Structure 1
Amino acid sequence: MVRGLDCWSGPVEPEPLTGGITNLNFRVTDAGRNFVVRIGEDIPVHQVMRFNEVNAAKAAFKAGISPEIVYARPGVIVARFIEGGGALSADGVRAAGFIERFMPVLKACHREVPKYLRGPVLAFWVFHVLRDYAARLREEGSRHEPKLDGLVARAEELEKAVGKIDLVFGHNDLLPGNIIDDGSRLWLIDWEYSGFNSPLFDLANLASNSEFGEVEERRMLSLYFDGAVDADLWRRYSAMKAASLLRETMWSMVSELHSKIAFDYAAYTLDYLARFDRAYQTFRQL
């Protein structure tokens, strides 16, 4: 399929890229230039609509924080390869100086990308996602069904604690692998879950996926909000952090039933469920 795309100037030899847990990804060299090809259809069970991903990625390129999309058709996205770059690990995200480098990128995502968006764009409200996941898991007889009532009750508690929000355009999937460091600057990739959201979700998502400590979290919040972190902000952020981890947990539960990618979703579910439990207990102590 990748070889046959009509965007190439001649024959190409796609090289599979590892690490993806939703899409199939390939590196292609064409006429001396390198590209990344993402293969993936809409995923309604995860509320992923590829038109939204393409729109967001194009806007993010214009905002200067994501590589250029050079070709797109249903199920296929071709973007320029970031030369000299590599996806970060959790250790890389926790490294000294990362937060200071990344906060301008995140602020650009939230405040600059919307200036370039055109056409329909989705919203991403984690608590709606959680309710939808729970309903689907019940309907499809998931092995996790006995846990769902308790998880939904906790999600409702967390939604109340988050309270009123500001609305920005979020990336909403800040796994370390979606951040690229080319040695001089940071880039964001993979916009499939992007949409209007609270800035607290991206902040919590970044911290929870890379297991920040409280010192790093407070520095991140202080840099983003340009000031001291008061008790109210800390509690609302902590609620969103727990919700972020619950979303990743239930995303994996649904993926256990639906994904055809060769990945150990069962182990991923257990890992994130344990992270959620710890974050929820920390929130309850506030």
Structure 2
Amino acid sequence: MYENLFKVIERPEQFISHLPEWHGATFSRLKGGFNNNTLKVTKETKVGVLKIDSSPRKMPFNPRCKEAYIQNIAYENGLAPKVIFANSGVYFTEFVEGVVGNKKNFKNENNLKAIAIALKKLHSLPLAGQKFNAMAAARKYIDIFKGYESCLVRKCLKIIDEAPLSSNFCLCHNDLVANNFIITPEIAFLDWEYSSDNNPFFDLATVVEHHELNNKEASLFLDAYIVEDFQDWQIHLKFQRRLYLALLYLWMISRHDINHTEIESIALRLTTIDL
């Protein structure tokens, strides 16, 4: 069920009143949600996750209804929780029991292979009909940071602007950080707000760079995904690794809880990827 009209929800009970089967549910706050209020909703044996937005979605995020459409295609293919209801201010999904990812999970050989296989399946799903706009994301982060004079910010924008255009688009998640994975024990993906058509190597690069895979781990992951000689693909991956790090750097400096050590590490990695 999707509705496009944005409505301000001050209390979760306001939303549940529209879903009779959830009347009498209880609510508890969940961690996460930089851009929304996230609650766990429980009614007898049913459990859901409710996200309440304070304002309508803008680029680079998907409108909630578009996000729900894409996520439910993924759900039908065993790759995501089901979306129960969505409008431009509310997103309500099934709660999935499992282990939410962390960086340690990416040091496990079996997990890396399982993630690669799930990602290959995701990339085979139908196109979303809209392309990922990396520059729109970058501009949003810079608008928050107000850091146009930084040399590294300008370098990031140059990397993003000059990123090679791909003729090989597929449906991508575009935000494959550790806590957007859940092991059930199958691999599923959470938070589809950036999902759109993109170069598949962007998703691969995100897994490699965000979780700082070493050469052995990266090769194992990519071999499981590509099933071919990786040598021919390395240049594609390197361009997307730089693109991801440029976006990550801009996102990190836009946050109110800036981690300067992590930012310095990203800046160093950004300047040392050899193309």
For normalisation by structure 2, the TM-score amounts to 0.84
Distance 2:146 2:249 in 1: 13
Please give the secondary structure, in 2, of the residue aligned with 1:64. coil
Runs of at least 5 residues in structure 2 that lack an aligned partner in the other structure:
1-10
State whether structure 2 residue 117 is matched by structure 1 residue 104: yes
Structure 1 position 255, deviation (Å): 4.5
Residue 45 and residue 73 in structure 1: after superposition, are their counterparts in 2 closer, same or farther (change >3 A)?
Answer: closer
CA contact (8 A) 2:50 2:92 kept: yes
Residue 151 (structure 1) aligns with: 156
State whether structure 2 residue 12 is matched by structure 1 residue 2: yes
For normalisation by structure 1, the TM-score amounts to 0.81
Distance 1:55 1:44 in 2: 17
CA contact (8 A) 1:133 1:250 kept: no
2:177 to 171, 175, 178: 175
Greater per-residue helix proportion: 1
Residue 11 (structure 1) aligns with: 24
Residue 278 (structure 1) aligns with: 269
Distance 2:221 2:270 in 1: 17
Structure 1 position 110, deviation (Å): 1.0
Residue 44 and residue 59 in structure 1: after superposition, are their counterparts in 2 closer, same or farther (change >3 A)?
Answer: same
1:25-59 deviation per Cα after TM superposition (whole angstroms, max 9, x unaligned): 11111132111112224442544422221111111
What is the correspondence of 1:79-228 to structure 2 with a 5 Å cutoff? 79-83=93-97, 85-112=98-125, 114=126, 121-127=129-135, 129-130=137-138, 132-133=139-140, 137=143, 142-143=146-147, 145-147=149-151, 148-157=153-162, 159-160=163-164, 164-182=166-184, 184-228=185-229
1:144-178 deviation per Cα after TM superposition (whole angstroms, max 9, x unaligned): 63233233234345x14xx5441110000001101
CA contact (8 A) 2:180 2:191 kept: yes
Residue 42 and residue 219 in structure 1: after superposition, are their counterparts in 2 closer, same or farther (change >3 A)?
Answer: farther
Distance 2:37 2:230 in 1: 40
Please give the secondary structure, in 2, of the residue aligned with 1:44. coil
1:48-98 deviation per Cα after TM superposition (whole angstroms, max 9, x unaligned): 422221111111111221111112222111111112x12111111222211
Q: Could you say what the CA RMSD is over the residues aligned between the two structures, in angstroms?
A: 2.4
Residue 127 and residue 28 in structure 1: after superposition, are their counterparts in 2 closer, same or farther (change >3 A)?
Answer: same
Please give the secondary structure, in 1, of the residue aligned with 2:109. coil
Aligned letter for 1:178? N
Q: Which runs of 4+ in 1 moved over 4 A?
A: none
Runs of at least 5 residues in structure 1 that lack an aligned partner in the other structure:
257-263
CA contact (8 A) 2:28 2:41 kept: yes
Residue 69 and residue 156 in structure 1: after superposition, are their counterparts in 2 closer, same or farther (change >3 A)?
Answer: closer
Aligned letter for 2:226? F
Residue 253 and residue 174 in structure 1: after superposition, are their counterparts in 2 closer, same or farther (change >3 A)?
Answer: same
CA contact (8 A) 1:249 1:273 kept: no
Residue 236 and residue 152 in structure 1: after superposition, are their counterparts in 2 closer, same or farther (change >3 A)?
Answer: same
CA contact (8 A) 2:159 2:242 kept: no
Aligned letter for 2:146? S
State whether structure 2 residue 38 is matched by structure 1 residue 37: no
1:220-246 deviation per Cα after TM superposition (whole angstroms, max 9, x unaligned): 22221211111x521221221121121
Residue 196 and residue 164 in structure 1: after superposition, are their counterparts in 2 closer, same or farther (change >3 A)?
Answer: closer
Residue 64 and residue 197 in structure 1: after superposition, are their counterparts in 2 closer, same or farther (change >3 A)?
Answer: same
Residue 23 and residue 122 in structure 1: after superposition, are their counterparts in 2 closer, same or farther (change >3 A)?
Answer: farther
Identity %: 20
CA contact (8 A) 1:176 1:210 kept: yes
Distance 2:82 2:145 in 1: 41
1:51 to 65, 79, 86: 65
Residue 197 and residue 154 in structure 1: after superposition, are their counterparts in 2 closer, same or farther (change >3 A)?
Answer: closer
